[in-house]
Amino acid sequence: MPQLVTVAQQDEIPVGSVKVVDVGELRIALCNYDGTVYAIDDECTHDRGPLDQGELIGSEIECPRHGARFDVTNGHATRLPAIRPVRTYPVRVENGSIALEVD
């Protein structure tokens, strides 16, 4: 059953930025696209590179190693060499606190 875990404050992640949080064994990238925070695994599905060190370009995050891109709103791979999506997590924002639903 998923559990709700508070991981950050909304003001820690300005629009267009990425912040990594650790939830147990998971490394999750919080991406603020256009004022909405999305949560994805912080690992490229192509070569396991850290996505948080890439650039957030619109709704896509680019892996710094080989240029693969992923849509942070749904996890889909949008540019080769990645073909598999990254895992996404439901995000809840309440009174400025960001919480994630994780297993």
Task: Classify residue 3: in a domain, yes or no.
Answer: no
Task: Classify residue 42: in a domain, yes or no.
Answer: yes
Q: Which residue has the tokens 């919480």?
A: 99
Structure tokens at 8: 């950050």
- 72 Rama class: left (phi>0) / alpha (psi -120 to 50) / beta: alpha
| Residue 65 structural domain | 13-89
What's residue 1's pLDDT? 75
Task: Classify residue 72: in a domain, yes or no.
Answer: yes
What's residue 6's pLDDT? 97
User: For 53, phi and psi rounded to 5 degrees?
Assistant: -90, 0
Regions of the chain with pLDDT less than 70: none
What's residue 24's pLDDT? 93
What's residue 62's pLDDT? 97
What's residue 52's pLDDT? 95
Task: Classify residue 19: in a domain, yes or no.
Answer: yes
Cβ–Cβ contacts within 10 Å for residue 93, how many?
A: 13
Q: Hey, is 2 helix, strand or coil?
A: coil
What's residue 86's pLDDT? 98
The CATH number that applies at residue 37 is 2.102.10.10
Q: What type of residue sits at position 62?
A: E
